Amino acid sequence: MKVVVSLAELWEVRRFLNSPVGLVPTMGYLHEGHLSLVRAARQECACVVVSIFVNPTQFSPTEDLSTYPRDLERDLDLLEKEGVDLVWTPTKEIMYPADFQSWVLVEEVTKPLEGAMRPGHFKGVTTVVAKLLNAVQPQKAFFGQKDAQQSVVIRQMVKDLNYPVEVKICPTVREPDNLAMSSRNAYLQPAERQAATVLSRALFAAREAYQNGERNANRLRKTMQAVFNQEPLARVQYISCADPNTLQELDLIEDHALLSVAVFIGKTRLIDNILLP
Amino acid sequence: MKVVVSLAELWEVRRFLNSPVGLVPTMGYLHEGHLSLVRAARQECACVVVSIFVNPTQFSPTEDLSTYPRDLERDLDLLEKEGVDLVWTPTKEIMYPADFQSWVLVEEVTKPLEGAMRPGHFKGVTTVVAKLLNAVQPQKAFFGQKDAQQSVVIRQMVKDLNYPVEVKICPTVREPDNLAMSSRNAYLQPAERQAATVLSRALFAAREAYQNGERNANRLRKTMQAVFNQEPLARVQYISCADPNTLQELDLIEDHALLSVAVFIGKTRLIDNILLP
């Protein structure tokens, strides 16, 4: 496994990677969710590239950039064991030099949900993902369903900007008690960690209602809200039942729906989602 | 020479092109300026791809999109004779489908000069060039010095967004009377065509002053203005003496300078520039 930092080193090694090349973009502090993406890439691609970069431009000034958890040594050990070919760990000076001034913006699908709660977040995400795709030129790129809106945004960007890359979305990996894996779970105090299961419990309650025939989106939102109401440590930011492609809120579920929630547990902001059916 | 329209056809043919691939992006109605780019690409690259697409997003509503000159059959004849391997002629429905919503924006260097006179112009340019680079994945891309600010903007975008492509800027090609070649010259009535030489005459007068030792930017601008004052058909939009990389206006020329002008001759807007020294 090669580990490179500069663009020049990356391009020197990239030339010798067989196609198809699979890219797994990460912000490090890897968990089983990331590793499931790496395994999917390993399965489908001749060579696997993982990027590790805590992207400052997708954090707002009030967010947790400085405290975002990092452990590069452990990350590299894990990736070595998964048979990764190349790890790219650029610095922020490499990604955003002093005269940096170019951005990729996706308009409609970045507006609701995370885009509404985290202004500027997706501008940072689409810009860094465009940079990663340009630099690595993979044939496939792997993202987690956990960041549901991010997958929609990336797919839209890849289609709009003619990237010759297949975007693969892999299922959310959950802890035994169904908490979706996230690097931010490391912030949770023990009582909060217990309370955090409320996200999946709310989503699964709505899914059960859906499976019992409920198609009214508002009643599904209320089912979720009722579960959150039982959890004193939870402060809901949004509860959504939306079209999985346009992310527009639904009145009635006709075919598919994306149920998604954003919730503060103490000071930690968590998100989760499920696709229906 | 292959001619393709859809992205799927492009990618089918692209797979078999040897590296380095050179891309020459054009809006068609080819003249010797375009052909000089094609010849540079032919010289330096194993395969040459030319795109022909009159990009609607770089025209403002008041500009000449609908009247922009087109002659695809003649263009293809010319390109065939230059030994081009592949011509991509996408439709606007292919480039901008109904749900299109992604843009590439370059900030600082798009603000002055053309960016100030043509709001939104560079947003269209950078977006379409990003799409062309993504779709074709060339190792080299060729642009003309005639569009001086465009070259600065593209170079900035390529650097900022990590495109693994070498941007080659080729010298402006001029008519025997030094009018810079441009598809828009086709708009000029005979008297206007004669008057249009005022752009190069103004620039060359300033160059002569520079060669005689003048380093004061304002005196060079005045030298150019004086030449335009002699031409009743000319209406000056800007006269600039700027840093060739940042495009900030200069007080004094210390090493390099970009002299550039935008002038209406009748209803036709023309631009031209020279680099000093």
B134·A164 Cβ contact <8 A: yes
Mean per-residue pLDDT for B66-89? 98
Give the model's pLDDT for residue B180.
98
Nearest to A136 by CA among A96, A163, A115, A168: A163
Determine which one of A31, A34, A121, A256 is catalytic: A34
Please judge whether B107 and A103 are an interchain contact, meaning their C-beta atoms are less than 8 angstroms apart: yes
Nearest to A137 among B106, B126, B137 (CB): B137
d(CA B246, CA B225) in angstroms, rounded, equals: 23
The beta strand positions in chain B, using DSSP E, are 2-4, 21-26, 47-52, 86-88, 102-106, 140-144, 166-170, 234-242, 257-265, 268-276
A99 interface with B at CB cutoff 8 Å: yes
Which residues of A are less than 8 Å from B126 in CB distance?
102
| CB < 8 Å to A164, chain B | 11, 134-135, 137
Q: CB neighbours of B100 closer than 8 A, spacing ≥ 6?
A: A160
Q: Let me know the angle formed at the C-alpha of A217 by A212 and A220, rounded to the nearest 5 degrees.
A: 55
Reply yes or no on whether A31 is catalytic: no
Question: Which residue's entry shows tokens 């169904």?
Answer: A178
pLDDT tier, A204 (very low <50, low <70, confident <90, very high otherwise): very high
Phi, psi of B174 (to 5 degrees): -120, 150
pLDDT value for B9? 98
Per-residue pLDDT, averaged over B262-276, amounts to 98
Q: What is the pTM of this model?
A: 0.97
Residue ranges of B 134-163 with Cβ closer than 8 A to chain A: 134-135, 137, 156-157, 160-163
- Beta carbon pairs, A and B, within 8 Å: 83
Enumerate residues 6+ apart whose C-beta is below 8 A from B106.
A101, A102, B122, B126, B153, B156, B157, B160
pLDDT at A213: 98
pLDDT given at position B212: 98
- Cα separation of A210 and B25, whole Å? 51
Closest CA to B261 of B208, B196, B212: B196
What is the mean pLDDT of the segment spanning A78-103? Answer: 98
Tokens for B129?
């060039």
Angle at B58 between CA A164 and CA A153, to 5 degrees: 40
pLDDT of residue B234: 98
- CA–CA distance, A136 with A88 (Å, rounded to integer): 9
Hey, are the CB atoms on B161 and A134 less than 8 Å from each other? yes
Domain architecture of chain B: domains with CATH: 2-170 (3.40.50.620), 183-276 (3.30.1300.10)
Q: Are A135 and B101 in contact (CB < 8 Å)?
A: no
pLDDT category of residue A75 using cuts at 50, 70 and 90: very high
Q: What is the pLDDT of residues A131-152, one digit of tens each?
A: 999 999 999 999 999 999 999 9
As a whole-number percent, the residues of chain B with pLDDT over 90 amount to 100
d(CA B133, CA A107): 21
pLDDT tens, position by position, B104-162: 999 999 999 999 999 999 999 999 999 999 999 999 999 999 999 999 999 999 999 99
**Residue A250 near chain B (CB below 8 Å):** no
Mean pLDDT across A63-67: 94
Residues of A in contact with B105 (CB under 8 A): 102-105
Q: What is the mean pLDDT of chain A?
A: 98
Instruction: List the single residue in B101, B134, B164 with the smallest CB-CB distance to A163.
Output: B134
Q: pLDDT tens for residues A245-276?
A: 999 999 999 999 999 999 999 999 999 999 99
C-beta atoms of A130 and B161 within 8 A: yes
A51 pLDDT band (50/70/90 cuts)?
Answer: very high
pLDDT-derived band at A124 (thresholds 50, 70, 90) equals: very high
Question: What pLDDT, in 10s, does the model give residues B27-47?
Answer: 999 999 999 999 999 999 999
Candidates A57, A152, A162, A246: best to mutate against B (most CBs of B within 10 A) is A162
Residue-wise burial string across B109-141, b where 16 or more C-beta atoms lie within 10 A, e elsewhere: bbebbbbeebeebbbbbbbbbbbbbbbbbbbbb
Residue in B130, B157, B164 closest to A11 by CB: B164
Which residues are CB-contacts of A182 (< 8 A; sequence separation ≥ 6)? Answer: A31, A33, A146, A270
Q: How confident is the model at residue B274 (pLDDT cuts 50, 70, 90)?
A: very high
Percent of chain B with pLDDT over 70: 100
DSSP H helices, chain A, are 7-14, 32-44, 72-81, 92-95, 114-117, 121-136, 148-160, 190-195, 198-211, 217-229
Q: Per residue in A5-37, pLDDT tens?
A: 999 999 999 999 999 999 999 999 999 999 999
Q: How far is B105 from chain A (nearest CA, A)?
A: 5
Which of the four pLDDT bands, split at 50, 70 and 90, describes residue B213? very high
Q: How far apart are CA A207 and CA A272, in angstroms?
A: 13
What's the CA gap between A176 and B275, in Å, rounded?
66
As a whole number, the mean pLDDT across chain B is 98
